[in-house]
Amino acid sequence: MSSPDTVLGTGEKRKLTLLAADLADWYRQGGGRSFPWREPGTPLYQLVCVEVLLQRTRAETVASFYHRFFTRFPGWQDLAEAPVEVLEEFLKPLGLWKRRAASLRALAAYAAKHDGMFPNRYEELLQVPAVGQYVAHAILMFQHGERFPLIDVNMARVVERFVRPRKLADIRHDPWLQQACKWLVRRGDPKKVNWSVLDHAALTCRARNPDCQSCFVSSRCAFKAA
């Protein structure tokens, strides 16, 4: 029998449904941020690479680097064939360049070999080099149109503040948090719902000094109530 701490309750689902709808409306009305990879028609190659570049890096930093990177490496084949020293040097402004270079080259080698197509099943995706939960969710959403959340510390913060804290330290393995984030993207355009949550985390529900006074969902927020 599942512990109550690991099961998403009916009331929690209702709160998250309302939160997703409010954030989607806010985003639709221009409340979110604007980045080049969010433009209509952005190739899958760029969308996936950006998710690797965004890890532990501010989106604004990646945006300033975006056009330079994809001009130098315009496709999977170009990235796969790039000498690792060249790629590492190019990625130095973002930090963690060795790790990023290894991840991007591994993804590129697979994609170039498979004509840019990734598996459409989560378990199979995890067998692809350099693909963990976050990148797998991104691929399933961007390439296969599946409803998956881009769960990182920012999305976790919004969900946990609005509803309740998770129990496990690792967000990848907390069953309640995983269910809650998946519930958030069950309706509407999953890309825009994901982006609206991440933008709310960056602009209002910040890790430090959250702007609860101007938050348009604070009346239902457990963190604000406490």
Which residues fall within 8 angstroms of residue 110, CB to CB, at 6 or more apart?
A: 118, 128, 129
Helices (H), 92-212: 97-113, 122-125, 133-142, 153-162, 175-184, 190-203
DSSP H or E segment with residue 116 = none
Q: What is the DSSP string of 44-112?
A: HHHHHHHHHHHTTS-HHHHHHHHHHHHHHS-SHHHHHHS-HHHHHHHHGGGS-HHHHHHHHHHHHHHHH
Distance between CA atoms of 178 and 102, rounded to whole angstroms? Answer: 27
Which residues fall within 8 angstroms of residue 5, CB to CB, at 6 or more apart?
A: 167, 176
Angle ∠(184,195,87) on CA atoms, nearest 5: 125
| C-beta of residue 56 within 8 angstroms of C-beta of residue 100 | no
**Hey, which residues are catalytic here?**
51
